[in-house]
Amino acid sequence: MSTPLAVDLSDIWKRFPGVVANAGASLQVKQGTIHAVLGENGAGKSTLMNVLAGMYRPDEGEIRIGGSQYWFRSPSDALAAGIGMVHQEFRLVPSFTVAENIVLGASERIIRKGSIESKVEALAQQFGLNIDPSRPVWQLSMGERQRVEILKTLWRNAQILIMDEPTAVLTPGEADELGGVLREMANAGRSIIFISHKLHEVKEFSDEATVLRDGKTVAASLNVDDTETSQLAGLMVGSSPVTTNRPPDRERGPSLLEVRGLEALDDRHLSAVHDFNLDVHSGEIVGIAGVSGNGQREMAQAIAGLRPIKSGTVKINGSDLSHALPVERFRAGLGYVPEDRLGVGLAPRLSVVENAILRNYKQLRQGPLLIDDKMSIHCQDIVDKFGVRTGPLNEPIAGLSGGNLQRLLVGRELSGEPKVLVAAQPTRGLDVQGVKAIQDLLVAERGAGVAVLLISEDLDELLTLSDRLLVMHSGKIVGEFDPVNSERHDIGAAMAGEVQI
């Protein structure tokens, strides 16, 4: 008789309005191992982990912990079953000490400071977590705060620890230290689930890896030592269910988007994009492939004007707009489909009409007044032309499905008749029809002589649509591929950062 699996999730389904986040995902974790869960943004990793941690209730599926079946109503049910989760955003009280944060909410009847602090210290030392229990949390670095979060789960005797992208907030030195702590915990018989899309860390820290894509498990419990990084990268991006035919070759025109020596910082003020050069010509689609978090997001934002440029130039249709406002770039012929549809491209609480006029409302004025007729004609045009299925146009867009939101957004950007279109993850999370519709629009724009920059995590989409395929890694382009005559393996290797050109 073998020991039962520490975690056995099978056939988990979780649907949200307009999105299927988990479509029969599964995960098996052996006791005393570090198990990496890999997948691109939107692959369903976080949803699956939230199901395991009791934050979400799955629509279908089975959760078995140590061989017994559970049904969690809340995170405290999951905790009672021995599952602790360290979220990306820490949940600590800054003015409390380390020890106070650790015992907070953990049914400690009488709190005697001295004895709690020494107990915390003992627990910390057991796992090699170096921390002073009497220090207030606000004085701690991000790495130290993470240790407090880990200690919180250990204090509650969690046998299974879920870490959601734990290294995203750490310096490389701290990340290595974390790796040691996790190994210590695994050796003590605890099981660790480690979410990441940094492949070298997965390789370094974990024993096994499960890869999710489009809400499904595409590779379960791979032995990490026997698996190439490029193979993992390939599994993550995988193939899309949509078969759009490759558009016929055509002559490309002059370069309409020229980026030279671009440097931009991420939200933590660390360099995210550097030495980045790019030309996109009229009538071509240039695809950008890469594992998430390698600067694609920041690069697109810098081109669109939503992120300041530290150095370098961005020229659109010949004019230097490196430091221009987003709206000035739009007027100069730049259409931009941002990665975050709701909250950046579209304002969630506003109506369909109000969202449709976001880019050109200043042209729909008479004096200070907005003209209702012009607004609704403009909106109706987009809705008709791009097949947006919507209720009354004055209702908030919150009721629209993901695909229809994207049609509205892409339609609005195209209604400005752009010369350059930057589309970041335009088909992510859409259903098959939605993906097809958006891909067709991109191809049509290419046919009309627009310069299209397509940033995607779907390698098949990139291979099908792109005239040229560039791979980004660590903030710059590390390879250019001909989408027709390239090996997937070579592209995967470039995405994993294994080749430098």
Point out which residues bind other proteins (CB under 8 A).
4, 57, 64, 67-71, 73, 77, 81, 304, 306, 325-328, 330, 336, 338, 340, 343-350, 354, 357-359, 361-362, 365, 368-370
CB of 422 to other proteins, least distance (A): 12
- Residue appearing with tokens 């919180």: 152
Asked whether the CA dihedral 437, 439, 441, 443 is positive or negative, the reply is: negative
Across 214-333, where does the E strand assignment appear? 216-223, 255-265, 271-281, 285-289, 311-316, 319-320
CB of 433 to other proteins, least distance (A): 24
- Give bridge partners of residue 351 from the DSSP assignment: 396
Q: What value, to the nearest 5°, has the Cα angle with vertex 315 and ends 309 and 320?
A: 80
Tell me how far apart the 2 most distant CA atoms of the chain are, in Å.
81
**Closest CB to other proteins among residues 8, 174:** 8
**Closest CB to other proteins among residues 123, 306:** 306
CB of 357 to other proteins, least distance (A): 8
CB of 68 to other proteins, least distance (A): 5
Amino acid (1-letter code) at residue 57: R
CA 46 to CA 232: how far, in whole Å? 18
CA 468 to CA 281: how far, in whole Å? 11
Determine the 3-state secondary structure of 390 from DSSP: coil
Give the Cβ contact number of residue 412 at 10 Å: 24
**Closest CB to other proteins among residues 216, 359:** 359
**Closest CB to other proteins among residues 16, 71:** 71
CB of 73 to other proteins, least distance (A): 6
**Closest CB to other proteins among residues 222, 300:** 300
CA 422 to CA 337: how far, in whole Å? 6
CA 8 to CA 480: how far, in whole Å? 41
Determine the 3-state secondary structure of 439 from DSSP: helix
**Closest CB to other proteins among residues 384, 395:** 395
Q: What value, to the nearest 5°, has the Cα angle with vertex 107 and ends 103 and 113?
A: 40
CB of 2 to other proteins, least distance (A): 13
**Closest CB to other proteins among residues 103, 357:** 357
CB of 343 to other proteins, least distance (A): 5
**Closest CB to other proteins among residues 91, 365:** 365
CA 232 to CA 209: how far, in whole Å? 9
CB of 158 to other proteins, least distance (A): 16
**Closest CB to other proteins among residues 81, 491:** 81
CB of 325 to other proteins, least distance (A): 5
Expressed in percent and rounded to 5, the helix, strand and coil fractions of the chain are: 35, 25, 40
β-pairing, 34-38 vs 191-196, is parallel
